[in-house]
Amino acid sequence: MKDSRVARMHHPRRGAKRGTVIELKSRREIGIMREAGRLVALAHQKVREFLKPGLKTIEIDLMIRDFVLENKGTLLFFNYQGFPAHSCISINEEVVHGIPSEERILNDGDIVSVDIGVGKDGFCGDSAWTYGVGSINQEAQDLLTHCEAALFKGIEQMVVGNRISDISRAIQDYSEDLGYGVVKKFVGHGIGRRMHEAPQVPNYCDKKSFLQEDPVLQEGMVLAVEPMLNVGTEDVETLSDKWTVITKDKKLSAHFEHTIAVTSDGPQVLTVT
Ligand code: MG
Ligand code: MG
């Protein structure tokens, strides 16, 4: 695994190594994953209703924690490689892995990315969404619209017989044609009994990424696809808290993620209500 593609919450050093066998899920298992995904989606619905200027990001995190626990789910991010909260909450130029805090307060016009991972009945669901707080400007609105659209461009490619690189290429082509920076340092992943499984799902397609392998999509594969788009360049850096990733040019970044199953009827998004 190339170093540039090693990163914690999105890139475990264990489990999702290249070359690891891809675990296919039965229809019954996908049914259980749909319940885990539904809980993630319901938590996002709560976040959407809850968000307003003046909120501390820790308040959002604790709301997510309470909601997931009330619904008999487990919080996959808590203590994951030492992560100190239940969700990742990343504001404006923060890309991923923002740590919820007493000190971070949402302002009118901010965009906020919320990433939630939940376990239920032995399976995982993982979804991120970027929300506008109050009224956001056109540049921010366009970023959200196009990052969500990029995710669905990738999902459309999740049909039996296509390859992982078809997902990657669709996301990259759509996003770069619009002038966005596609973050390459973090990638999507297989998901199932563990949050991070094989294969990796890059949001870009170059020879190096797929030199060794480019798996063919098969019925029963479940993937978390998660483009991160920047208004400026793709370059990112990690803050001294060792978690928060920001854009180097401090321009806005968005992150949209769903957990999706490849089925004989086409892609089925599991992280929906
Ligand atoms: Mg996630
Ligand atoms: Mg993920």
CATH number, domain at 105? 3.90.230.10
DSSP letters along 59-106, please? HHHHHHHHHHHHTT-EESSTTGGG--SSSEEEETTEEE-PPP-SS-B-
33 touches 124 (CB < 8 A): yes
Residue 3 lies in a domain: no
Residue 5 lies in a domain: no
> Counting ligands in written order, which one lies closest to the CA of residue 196?
2
Q: Around ion ligand 1, which residues have CB less than 5 A away?
A: 115, 126, 128, 257
Residue 58 lies in a domain: yes
Q: How far apart are the CA of 259 and the centre of ligand 2, in A? A: 8
- Count of domains for the chain: 1
Q: How far apart are the CA of 257 and the centre of ligand 2, in A? A: 7
Residue 218 lies in a domain: yes
Residue 10 lies in a domain: no
The SS3 call for residue 58 is helix
Cα separation, 133 vs 114, in Å, equals 12
pTM of the prediction?
0.94
Q: Which domain holds residue 59?
A: 21-269
pLDDT of the chain, 273 residues: tens digit per residue: 222 333 456 644 344 455 579 999 999 999 999 999 999 999 999 999 999 999 999 999 999 999 999 999 999 999 999 999 999 999 999 999 999 999 999 999 999 999 999 999 999 999 999 999 999 999 999 999 999 999 999 999 999 999 999 999 999 999 999 999 999 999 999 999 999 999 999 999 987 777 778 999 999 999 999 999 999 999 999 999 999 999 999 999 999 999 999 999 999 999 999
Residue 162 lies in a domain: yes
CA 63, 245, 163, 119 torsion: positive or negative?
negative
Residue 2 lies in a domain: no
